[in-house]
Structure 1
Amino acid sequence: MDKVNRFIQFNDESVETRKLLLYERIAQALSNTPYMKVTERQLIEYQPKEATLAISVFWRHRTEEVTNLGRLSDIYLLSAGFYRQFDLTAWRTFTTDIKPHSYPKLARQLLMLLEEFRMMESIQKSRAGTQRAFKVRRDIYAEFHRDRLLSNAQRGFLADALINQLYLDIHIGMTSSPHDVFDRLPIDRVRQVAQRIFETETTSQSASLAFQIIALVEEFLTGDIVLPLYTFGEAFEDGKPMKQSSKAMESEEQGESDVKETIEEEFRTWHRETEEEKGMHLEFDLQHGTEGASDASDSKPGNEDAEVQSFGTGRSEGNEKEIGAQPEIEQQQDQSVEPTLQAGSDYGHAHTQVTFKVMEVANKTDTSSLSTLSAWRINHLPIVRALVTEMKKRLERKRQYKRENLTKGRLSSKLTTMLTDERPKPFYRKQAPSPELDAVFGLLVDGSASMIDKLAETKEAVVLFHDVLRELNVTHEIASYYEDTFEASKEQQPNFFEVMHSFDENRVDSGPAIMNFEAHEDNRDGFAIRWMANQLGNRPEHHKFLLVFSDGEPSAFGYDRNGIIDTAEAVWETEKRGISVVHLFLSSQQPTEDQRELFATMFGNKTASSDSVEEFASQTLRILRKLLAIAVQ
């Protein structure tokens, strides 16, 4: 659906999908975890259930270099540091021991502050290339803590100010006197204890330092931390997973406690359980003769002598006329509908709860639609003929093209090179005949509700696309995609593909089926692109093209926040498979600069737009001409 023209423009943060995908690849490489995802949150954190690392929004609205290096420092810390070196057993013991204390939040923040420094030092020793990013991190955060120290001191947030002071002491050094707000605290002793962080090598040792600092300041503080700076340890604090599979529960009942010692082990356990639970959940096996007592209180034993009181109808291979034959149209519809399938994680992390059906659109329509279809084709006939003739001429030139100066092949009539050249190449070879284009096209048409006001123009553009490829005998498939908003829930999001023309119907006229295209509810673009990419990936043709006709950004259940990123990732994955993805923005008015940037974010430089609905067909023809020219080369 079209959601690009947002009302609150000042809050419309752009999503840097390409950079986010790059950070994701770096995190996967450093952690050796190919399923790792990266997102952006208020503070850096781990989300083990979703196998996700979150970098901080702290680095936004800075220079491009600082933003990039700052985000990289988050990635280094999370994927190369805490991921393997943070001792979860020591952390859980620490959080249990501090509960009786008066300031548990301060204790947690202290431990994370000390561990952050230990991780930074460890990573820089093993990976010298990270030093530049960590230098930027240290400088920017030092400036941040200086400002926060003054602010917290003025407001009387003594515990928060202590964290700010200790960060500066550890990372910058005790080059200046502490703030006057610490006059009541044994601050010199605290700073000396904090300097022992240079000698720590484990999480347990950092925890010991945190306990010593708490013991020194506990009786002088008046309140706990108000504005925490670290949250990523909370996901592993109690050691209990948020959800357990039946296998894990059985192991726990048998006394087989599997305590995870590192964040890596926690992530892999979550991933393993998720993989075990995914599958074709909506495909059921019919079981006959199941034994067991009935739950019904009014059940009666069977009686073979009882008379038949009613007849039921159903599909069978028997005589349909005797029991009530199914109408022919209803049979055709039933045959065209595939079973409901579960997407799982094969179609992207954002679509694990998606179910989908693939349906064939009936290739017949009413008289009025046929009349409109005929009028369109009469209008398109000259341009279709011109494009087909142009492509056939290019194919003929390619067939007759002769490659010369070869070391083997047919002997050329120009033999003077045998005398003049030191290494003569007097042979040539004709190009292999190319009677047909070695290409295949897949067209996805947005079936969301926002397409209602431009249905006729979209159908005309799709008909033109279909007629050109049919005349050139180029294999193609056309399908609309949408999500059922009213049936979508957290547990299940039903999606549908309505196929108007399939790869197997090469020369079939599917114009009537295209005229039956209708608008429905939402659109899940990343999922649809992966689905069509799988269809194209199995094709033998050399040139593969995937076209997407849509009128706005993705919008579906739970898909608003990550739809743009997921679509960009789907396009990147598809391009990596050798399939070119091209996008046409269908709009009734000229696109704005924000809209152009949005589609460039999702589809790169392979996106086009039309200034009005009347130009859909001409833009489609222009795109098709360029892609066919590529296939002819």
Structure 2
Amino acid sequence: MKQIIFNNKKIDTSLFLQMENLALSLSKEREAFLEFDFQAYYDNEEQKITISHFWDTKEFQEQLAGLKTDVYLKALGNKHLSNFDEFKNMLQELQDFPLKSFFTQLYVLLEDLRLEEQIIGLRPGTKKLFETRRAVYRHHFESQLKANTIRNFPTDQLFCLIYLSLTSSSMTYQTSDLLDELLSILFAVYEAKSTEDISSIVFRVSQRLGSSLTQDMINIYFGYLPLNKLSSKNEKQCEAKKLANDDEQSEIEDRDSEDEKLSTWHRESKNNDKDDNFLRFEVESGTKTGIKANFAREQEDSDQAIGNAYGSSKQSEQRQSTTTDNPDQMNSQNGSNQNQYGKYNSGVTINYLSTRPQLIDEKKQYSILSSIVSKDVKELRKTIEKTIESKKNAPSDKYYGRLNKNWLRLFTEEKPKLFYKKNTESKELDIVFYLLIDCSGSMYNKMDEVKKSVVLFHETLKQLKITHKISGFWEDATNATKESKPNILHTVIPFYQSLHHSSGPNIMQLHEEEDNRDGLMIRIASEELSKRSEKHKFLLVFTDGEPSALDYFQDGIIDTHEAVKQARKYGIDVIGTFIEEDEIQEETYQLMKNIYQHHFLVAAGAEDLRLKLKPLLKKLIVRSIV
């Protein structure tokens, strides 16, 4: 399992889940979901809301305000306060403009500014959040303005000036006649009541700008729907509107394409109070022709490339799997049961792999490792047995039995319990453990040392007669596809064999393999633990980095966090153990905290892990003595 840093930032899962809950609450859509992307936008077809990585490098309070306002603008604004059909159609038509990037981003900016005013009106508590958002963006555009001026990017420079002017309480920036005329049009955004009003403003800007600028914008400041979404048409959009006049052309005329001029603006608009003539082409007027309509074009090669570039989020089904402890049986689950393993594990299949007969070399290796940890095992066993004995003989205050030597309570308590009864019943260890070992490829230089820690656990638990299970897991990256992602759960010591004297050498069958999908395996292990009758249940996950698998890079941390959270609802204590390659890094602590909250330990190397696991095991067992 390799370290995955998306956009040079770790994903704060607690913060992400907070934003996800806010998005679901505002959108009022059960099927809605949230994702990080380079820009924020709303996709009404997939009910997807994205929040921007623009905020990753900001201070926490600025980041929190920025992400929340992203959610408000997309989940509440675009979803409920925008005419999204108008918005999407307009974005699509802007792709035909010579300065398509400039006008597209200007349109998104103006719509966001309109939505800000409406959202603050509906929810006054968001005012400070949007003020923080504007302050951050103003600082950003001030620096971008300087850079664009030096690089001689006139259109980018104009866009920066537009944002700074629209969000400034006073005009402190150098302007020109052209900018002054544009601003006189653009300030109408604060009087706009609908998405259609914003469309009209953008058109007026395009008319005034004309051919003043020949170079389109270089940078992207505000996000919009991916191109493959803008180019797609649903059935309703493809239906031809009824024409105002009902005449019909007798035949299709041949025209010289060189003489034909087509307008780049094909929208219908309302004139403003000044009755401006915008020279718009009225699409609802015209003459019927013999050209066939309402047909779908053939798919082009570029469509697949665009789809791959932007990706898609689709939920697939998964077949329910059944776990088994039978060593003679290996189960493989194909197909699907919807969302059984969470929305980030679509298309997974589970292969349950059991142990093979032990090899002589494996028995020798296990003998060596068990001798290395034997001293630690002996100390642990004695400490825990003494704790059990002290619990067993601890006096208990009662109204009858043997007289207690502490008579002070006779004077300090109204009804003192001056007697005790020695416990004759032994204290039981009503505990079960499950050890999950990451067998990803990056464990190749750590697996032998990790086995020492696993042997320490196994020998200690076996001598204390505590039932446990040990499994390794990985994803078959070689054969993984978007439709089918085979995952292997290799159980080397099942519950029913955990106390057998000869089961230990099976641990030697664990080896480094390929990728890892931690959240998936935690779900499977916790589901199995939840069905057991023991009072105290512990799941330990041995790992050396972030989850890493196909279509799992960005979402793996979030999925694993959700899996841990779900397991704890079952009453299962989940503890993450992280093996750092060299010196422990601060970002490692943050990663583990994001996933496991405060229930984790980080070790600088496998040897350090074994030393830290010893007191951890003691603590878990001692506190569980009933």
TM-score (norm 2): 0.74
Question: Does 2:116 correspond to 1:120?
Answer: yes
Shift of 1:426: 5.3
Distance 1:135 1:615, change over 3 A: closer
Shift of 1:576: 4.7
1:359 to 338, 348, 353: 353
Q: CA RMSD in A?
A: 4.1
Q: Please list the CA deviations of residues 151-195 of structure 1 after superposition, one character each: whole Å capped at 9, or x if unmatched.
A: 55666655444433433343324x327644x32x3x545433333
Question: Does 2:133 correspond to 1:141?
Answer: no
Letter in 2 for 1:559: Y
Shift of 1:532: 1.5
Partner of 1:496: 488
1:279 to 318, 326, 342: 318
SS of match in other structure, 1:131? helix
| Cα separation, 1, equivalents of 2:160 and 2:584 | 48
More helix per residue:
1
Partner of 2:533: 540
TM-score (norm 1): 0.73
SS of match in other structure, 1:486? helix
Q: More deviation in 487-496 or 554-563?
A: 554-563
Distance 1:511 1:99, change over 3 A: closer
Over the matched positions of the two proteins, sequence identity in percent amounts to 28
Letter in 1 for 2:511: E
Partner of 1:42: 38
Q: More deviation in 612-621 or 470-479?
A: 612-621
| Cα separation, 2, equivalents of 1:100 and 1:588 | 52
Partner of 1:448: 440
Distance 1:565 1:393, change over 3 A: same
Question: Does 2:527 correspond to 1:527?
Answer: no
After TM superposition, list the pairs within 5 Å mapping 1:103-502 onto structure 2: 103-149=99-145, 152=148, 157-173=153-169, 175-176=170-171, 179-180=174-175, 182-183=176-177, 185=178, 187-234=179-226, 236-238=229-231, 240=233, 274=314, 277-280=316-319, 335-340=329-334, 342=336, 345-362=339-356, 364-377=357-370, 380-381=373-374, 383-401=376-394, 404=397, 424=415, 435-502=427-494
After TM superposition, list the pairs within 5 Å mapping 1:552-563 onto structure 2: 552-563=545-556
Distance 1:467 1:100, change over 3 A: closer
Shift of 1:234: 4.2
Shift of 1:231: 2.4
SS of match in other structure, 1:440? strand
* Residues 39, 54 of structure 2: 8 Å contact kept: yes
Letter in 2 for 1:473: K
| Cα separation, 2, equivalents of 1:61 and 1:588 | 26
Q: More deviation in 595-604 or 63-72?
A: 595-604
Shift of 1:546: 1.1
Shift of 1:365: 0.9
Letter in 1 for 2:81: Q
Shift of 1:481: 0.3
SS of match in other structure, 1:278? coil
* Residues 582, 603 of structure 1: 8 Å contact kept: yes
Letter in 1 for 2:342: G
Q: Please list the CA deviations of residues 211-241 of structure 1 after superposition, one character each: whole Å capped at 9, or x if unmatched.
A: 2332333354434444342222446534547
* Residues 45, 232 of structure 1: 8 Å contact kept: yes
* Residues 336, 347 of structure 2: 8 Å contact kept: yes
Distance 1:353 1:339, change over 3 A: closer
Letter in 2 for 1:206: I
1:74 to 49, 70, 77: 70
Shift of 1:589: 5.4
Shift of 1:477: 1.5
Shift of 1:138: 1.4
Partner of 1:250: none
SS of match in other structure, 1:445? strand
SS of match in other structure, 1:351? coil
| Cα separation, 1, equivalents of 2:476 and 2:120 | 50
Letter in 1 for 2:318: G
Shift of 1:53: 3.2
* Residues 24, 36 of structure 1: 8 Å contact kept: no
* Residues 399, 433 of structure 1: 8 Å contact kept: yes
Shift of 1:496: 0.2
Q: Which runs of 5+ in 1 are unaligned?
A: 243-254, 258-272, 284-331
* Residues 399, 432 of structure 1: 8 Å contact kept: yes
Letter in 2 for 1:119: L
| Cα separation, 1, equivalents of 2:478 and 2:56 | 37
Partner of 1:20: 16
| Cα separation, 2, equivalents of 1:57 and 1:552 | 22
Q: Please list the CA deviations of residues 543-596 of structure 1 after superposition, one character each: whole Å capped at 9, or x if unmatched.
A: 221111223433333434443444344334434543222233346755455555
Distance 1:178 1:490, change over 3 A: same
| Cα separation, 2, equivalents of 1:368 and 1:99 | 67
Distance 1:377 1:160, change over 3 A: closer
Question: Does 2:564 correspond to 1:571?
Answer: yes
Letter in 2 for 1:168: L
| Cα separation, 1, equivalents of 2:337 and 2:447 | 29
Letter in 2 for 1:209: I
Partner of 2:506: 513
| Cα separation, 2, equivalents of 1:101 and 1:558 | 35
Shift of 1:54: 2.9
Shift of 1:444: 0.4
Letter in 2 for 1:494: P
Question: Does 2:53 correspond to 1:53?
Answer: no
Shift of 1:411: 9.2
| Cα separation, 2, equivalents of 1:77 and 1:584 | 39
| Cα separation, 1, equivalents of 2:445 and 2:151 | 57
SS of match in other structure, 2:344? helix
* Residues 45, 54 of structure 1: 8 Å contact kept: yes
Q: Please list the CA deviations of residues 273-318 of structure 1 after superposition, one character each: whole Å capped at 9, or x if unmatched.
A: 955x5232999xxxxxxxxxxxxxxxxxxxxxxxxxxxxxxxxxxx
Shift of 1:378: 5.1
Letter in 2 for 1:387: L
Q: Please list the CA deviations of residues 94-115 of structure 1 after superposition, one character each: whole Å capped at 9, or x if unmatched.
A: 3466566554444333322221
SS of match in other structure, 1:584? strand
SS of match in other structure, 1:632? coil
* Residues 391, 632 of structure 1: 8 Å contact kept: no
* Residues 102, 218 of structure 1: 8 Å contact kept: no
| Cα separation, 1, equivalents of 2:523 and 2:211 | 60
* Residues 42, 78 of structure 2: 8 Å contact kept: no
SS of match in other structure, 1:350? coil
| Cα separation, 2, equivalents of 1:335 and 1:128 | 62
Question: Does 2:582 correspond to 1:582?
Answer: no
* Residues 587, 610 of structure 1: 8 Å contact kept: yes
Letter in 2 for 1:448: S
Partner of 1:311: none
| Cα separation, 1, equivalents of 2:419 and 2:71 | 56
The count of residues paired between Structure 1 and Structure 2 equals: 545
SS of match in other structure, 1:585? strand
SS of match in other structure, 1:237? helix
